[in-house]
Amino acid sequence: MQAEPLLPPPGLAVDLGCGVGHSERFLVERGWQVLAIDLLPEAIAHAEAQCAGLDGIEFVCADFRTCTWPANQLTLGFNAIFFVPTADFWQVWESLRERLTPGGLFIGQVLGSQDDWANEAMGSIRPEEEEQLLAGFSPLHFEHVTRPGRDVFGREKHWDVYHCILQRT
Ligand SMILES: C[S@@+](CC[C@H](N)C(=O)[O-])C[C@H]1O[C@@H](n2cnc3c(N)ncnc32)[C@H](O)[C@@H]1O
């Protein structure tokens, strides 16, 4: 993880949309407790199998738009906050921010409104909403990348993504 030098001392990490569990081993091997949340039972089953034998990980099959999670020192939203519909975006962002303890980090990406994927189902922010996104955070890395590119299937698409490492103030 590129952000490793910026990580706070280990505590509780919450992985929103953990998928098949790419981050969990990395974190527990560095002393973190991990709460890994995903909507899809198949993803949770795969992630549990990947992490068999590792202590300190709790997997929960739930919708992070509506479930609650405890105060934590690290919230991950790798390629997952993209899937929050526009109508829910700011409420999810508020929950995420309020549950991060001061000094804690959010690491993940947020979709920009010029991305080809941005629509009602995939919430995005406009440049004039950057200030709202950063409220309550000190940005350690905040990079807005907007450029033509390709998706994982090689199809052309316009990317408009904010790459975030944000520290809760
Ligand atoms: C593209 S995958 C990314 C997985 C992982 N974070 C990674 O980077 O490898 C997005 C994951 O977010 C999950 N997801 C999307 N919306 C969700 C929600 N509202 N609640 C819980 N999980 C969600 C999906 O089920 C999927 O596993």
pLDDT tens digits for 37-60? Answer: 999 999 999 999 999 999 999 999
Q: Is 142 in the pocket of ligand 1 (CB under 6 A)?
A: no
Yes or no: say if 16 and 80 are a contact pair by the CB < 8 Å rule: yes
Nearest CA to ligand 1 atom 23: 17
Model pLDDT, residue 2? 75
Q: How much is the pTM?
A: 0.96
Model pLDDT, residue 89? 97
Domains of the chain: 9-78 (3.40.50.150), 83-169 (3.40.50.150)
Calculate what percentage of the chain has a pLDDT beyond 90.
Answer: 96
- Residue 36's nearest CA partner among 48, 26, 53, 49 is 48
Buried b (16+ CB within 10 A) or exposed e, 38-75: beeeebbeebbeebeeeebbebeeeebbeeebeebbbb
Query: Is the pLDDT confidence value at 106 over 90?
Result: yes
Single-letter residue type at 86: T
Q: Is 78 in the pocket of ligand 1 (CB under 6 A)?
A: yes
Q: Is 92 in the pocket of ligand 1 (CB under 6 A)?
A: no
Q: Is 27 in the pocket of ligand 1 (CB under 6 A)?
A: no
Confidence of residue 26 (pLDDT cuts 50, 70, 90): very high
Yes or no: say if 77 and 16 are a contact pair by the CB < 8 Å rule: yes
Phi-psi region of 146 (alpha: psi -120 to 50; beta: other; left: phi over 0): beta
Nearest CA to ligand 1 atom 26: 19
